[in-house]
Amino acid sequence: MVSALFAGKIDDGGFMQAGYDGLKLAESRLGVAAIIEQGVPPKLEELAAALRKLAATTPLLVIAHGGQNNAAAKTVAAEFPNSRFVVTQGNVTGPNLASYEVLQEHSAFLAGMLAGLTTRTGVVGHMSGIRVTPGLKGRAAYAAGVRHANPDVKILTNFSGNQDDNALSKKVAAAMIAAKADIIFTMLNAGRTGAIEACREGGAKQIGNVRDWTLVAPEVFVASAFADVGRAVFNAVSHAISGHLAVGQIRQIGLESPEAVRLTMAATVPAETRARIETMAAEIAARRFEVPTEWQGEEFANPA
């Protein structure tokens, strides 16, 4: 049996659902049973309490899905030295603690290149919710990709404080569109619907993340920075079963594993642009190009 904590809803259509899908894949392919806690607010004490509850069931592995669990997992893993813990999209380690990270910054960089190469207004956007490390790295990579493709493009970037608030995400996206952004990269969960509505109404295009959104709303999405964070969950369970769990390590999965990380592009993307992005993808996968993961600059404020 494995236990998993989701600091959000497993049907959010984004990050949490992708992690849950990875857990369900482990159940079907690896024959494990799973118990979960979901909808826990991303606050240290509440996350820690949920992890303690899960650890008390003495599972093969306790999974904390998302980097917002870093501090809680570090604390609780020390309290249960005979149990093994994993934080997906995390950056913490310990004698019985590992982090498994899908490098969504790899596909985010390619998303930035696409935005920089195809914008007609010279202004592009980025939207996210809470400031967790993977989201910050993804924003930095996207901005670096935009500038790599076209250093003259203006980037509007916003962390609204909420991944799931559709009214808020619609207001932010509409404000960016009013500021001439014609392509917006969204790193959201359940709140993506609001951004989609704003793009439809404002005639802007969107680049999604986590899953392939070009298949969901092809009239809006020109691409999606595919990063299957469920693969981190699946790999962690697989390694726990085989006795190869990377305790004390951060295990990373990037563009060299296209089943987990890639940029999916709509058929409307010009062949020359597609070829340029695919060439860069090969460079990143071979680790001949290091994707920047730090960014500093002015942010786009939440509309009043």
Q: Where are the domains of the chain?
A: 2-103+229-253, 104-226+261-285
CATH T-level fold of 2-103+229-253: Rossmann fold (3.40.50)
- pLDDT value, residue 134: 84
- Nearest 5°: the CA angle 268, 271, 274 is 90
Q: End-to-end distance of the chain based on CA atoms, in angstroms? A: 47
Per-residue pLDDT 10s for the chain (304 aa) are 999 999 989 998 888 999 999 999 999 999 999 999 999 998 999 999 999 999 999 899 999 999 999 999 999 999 999 999 999 999 999 999 999 999 999 999 999 999 999 999 999 999 999 898 889 999 999 999 999 999 999 999 999 999 989 999 999 999 999 999 999 999 998 899 999 999 999 999 999 998 899 999 999 999 999 999 999 999 999 999 999 999 999 999 999 999 999 999 999 999 999 999 999 999 999 999 999 999 999 999 999 8
pTM of the model: 0.84
- pLDDT value, residue 189: 87
Backbone angles phi, psi at 142, to 5 degrees: -60, -50
- pLDDT value, residue 106: 98
Task: Burial-class residue 196 by CB neighbours within 10 Å (0-12, 13-18, 19+).
Answer: buried
| 3-state SS, one letter per residue, for the chain | CEEEEECCCCCCCCHHHHHHHHHHHHHHHHCCCEEEEECCCCCHHHHHHHHHHHHCCCCCEEEEECHHHHHHHHHHHHHCCCCCEEEECCCCCECCEEEEEECHHHHHHHHHHHHHHHCCCCEEEEEECCCCHHHHHHHHHHHHHHHHHCCCCEEEEEECCCCCCHHHHHHHHHHHHHCCCCEEEEECCCCHHHHHHHHHHHCCEEEEEECCHHHCCCCCEEEEEEECCHHHHHHHHHHHHHCCCCCCCEEEECCCCCCCEEEEECCCCCHHHHHHHHHHHHHHHCCCCCCCCCCCCCCCCCCC
2-103+229-253 and 104-226+261-285 share one fold: yes
CATH T-level fold of 104-226+261-285: Rossmann fold (3.40.50)
- pLDDT value, residue 289: 97
pLDDT in tens, 257-275: 999 999 999 999 999 999 9
Q: Are strands 123-128 and 85-88 parallel, antiparallel or unpaired?
A: unpaired
Backbone angles phi, psi at 49, to 5 degrees: -65, -40
- pLDDT value, residue 15: 87
- What is the Cα–Cα distance from 154 to 209, expressed in whole angstroms? 21
- pLDDT value, residue 304: 86
